[in-house]
Amino acid sequence: MCASGGASKRAAADQRAAETARQAQIESGRQQVDRAFAGFDDSFFDGRRQAFVDNAAPQLDRQFRDARENLIYTLADAGTLRSSVAGNRLADLERSYGENKLMLADQARGYAQQARADVEAARGGVIQNLFAAGDAALAGQQATGQAQMLAAQPTFSPIAQAFQNVGAGIGAARAGQQSAAIRGGGQTTSFGGGTKGSGRVVN
Amino acid sequence: MCEPTTIALGVSAALTALGTGAQIHGQREADTERASTIRNAITEQQGARDRGMGAALSTLPAVERPAIDAAMDRAAADRGADYAAATAPQGGYLPSQAAAPQVVRDAVDRGRADTAGYLGQRSDALGRLGGWSDALFGVRQGVGRAGEGVAAATSAGRGAASLLPGALQAAGGAGSGWRLAGDLMNMAGQFAGAAGGTPGGWGSIFGSTGPAAGMPKNKPAAL
């Protein structure tokens, strides 16, 4: 009876010690996870947003410059560079450019937000494993691995073509003018009339 | 002088009484220890529950409507400013437009004003939409972190609860010395009572007198 009582006490004490150790492991693991993920603060995610912008904005700017040049050439070719149509086309192009910049800024925000969600999910997974296994060293290892993976420099894809059909319709109008001139030297009725410059048709 | 049988019965009764008392004392010690173990377990569970509750309540201010509204306003303003900066209006004209009639430049300027108004509206709308998302993400994040605290407290409570059966078993061992002594005294009492009740008395038990009536002799004559 005494021996059995002593064994029970020892077993209970061992269980208590094991549980205390498990709780200590969990606490230590949580601290390690916190340390591993400490770098993912607001400035990190703002950096991610800025990286997205830095990658995409020059591409969009380049596309805008190209589209603007194409517009200039097309308008000049049609002899409508100084027309109100040119002004409208330029405004349309700039509007499209502004919309694309807005979308780009929004995508950059979304990208940063997704990075936040990814980090939070990874952190949550490590914490969940920690509670299940009660192994601080393993949690620390997993947290460090996840943090390194999440902090790795992202790769971005080239942005899609943002400006299409910028000069659409202008060439056709010019062709119409030329056809009319060939048929009978008649008066042009659109875009202000060929070589004399624009200004008569104002939308 | 008392008869040996009377003495034996008296000793037996005394031993039995002492043994029973020792057993009761041992049992009380075990009961006290068990009760103490249960009280400690309840205290531990309450502590774990309080810690979990504290962790859960810590997020309460952040998930109340005014706090969420304020967080949404801040996030919307932040996004709106970002979008407004990204969509700053363009300047300048196409080649030769600077020298074009005023009506041409007016068309450009009017288009730009329309664009600025349109993009401003969209920036605000997107800012509000994104701000709502940002604020709710912040709330979810806060709730998730608090959930870790709750999970830690729950884990501690569960761990402590798992110790209870073993602790109760160990507590049941308290007073085992008294119970053993009680058992021995009871046995001795029974033994004394049984011996006192035999015709040969205690001596017959230890073989110093003749056998009790009806009992065979130690060494049969035939042997």
Tokens for B220? Answer: 């049969």
The residue among A128, A126, A135 whose CA lies nearest residue A23 is A135
Give yes or no for a contact between A58 and A168, defined as CB atoms under 8 angstroms apart.
no
pLDDT at residue number B223: 45
Reported as a pLDDT band with limits 50, 70 and 90, residue B153 is very high
Query: Best residue in B38, B79, B90 to probe A by mutation, most A CBs within 10 Å?
Result: B90
pLDDT at B214 over 70: no
- For residue A147, CA distances in Å to A120, A123, A150, B140 come to 11, 9, 5, 20
- For residue B174, CA distances in Å to A2, B31, B72, B86, B100 come to 9, 8, 61, 77, 106
pLDDT at A137 over 90: yes
- State whether residue B4 sits within 8 Å of chain A by CB: no
pLDDT at residue number A107: 94
Give yes or no for a contact between B195 and B42, defined as CB atoms under 8 angstroms apart.
no
- Chain B nearest C-alpha distance from A186 (Å): 25
Tokens for A50? Answer: 């800025």
pLDDT at residue number B80: 92
Kindly determine whether residue A1 and residue B176, on different chains, have CB atoms separated by under 8 Å: yes
pLDDT at residue number B203: 57
Question: Which positions in chain A touch B108 (Cβ < 8 Å)?
Answer: 87, 90-91
The better pLDDT of the pair B77, A194 is held by B77
Reported as a pLDDT band with limits 50, 70 and 90, residue A25 is very high
Reported as a pLDDT band with limits 50, 70 and 90, residue B134 is very high
pLDDT at residue number A190: 40
pLDDT at residue number A171: 64
- For residue A162, CA distances in Å to A54, A57, A73, A103, B151 come to 17, 12, 19, 11, 48
The residue among B174, A27, B35 whose CA lies nearest residue B43 is B35
- Chain B nearest C-alpha distance from A2 (Å): 6
pLDDT at residue number B190: 84
pLDDT at residue number B109: 85
pLDDT at residue number B178: 87
Reported as a pLDDT band with limits 50, 70 and 90, residue A1 is very low
Least confident of A39-53, A114-128, B9-23: B9-23
Reported as a pLDDT band with limits 50, 70 and 90, residue B191 is confident
- State whether residue B170 sits within 8 Å of chain A by CB: yes
Scan residues 75-94 of B and list those with Cβ closer than 8 Å to A: 79, 82-83, 86-87, 89-90, 93-94
Provide the number of CB pairs (under 8 Å) joining chain A to chain B. 162
Biggest CA–CA distance in chain B, Å, is 157
- Chain B nearest C-alpha distance from A136 (Å): 13
Tokens for B80? Answer: 């709106």
What are the residues whose beta carbons fall under 8 Å from the beta carbon of A51, sequence distance 6 or more? A153, A154, A156
pLDDT at B222 over 60: no
Angle formed by the axes of helices A2-36 and A84-133, nearest 10°:
160
Rounded to 5 degrees, what are φ and ψ at A141?
A: -65, -45
B33-46: per-residue pLDDT in tens? Answer: 899 999 999 999 99
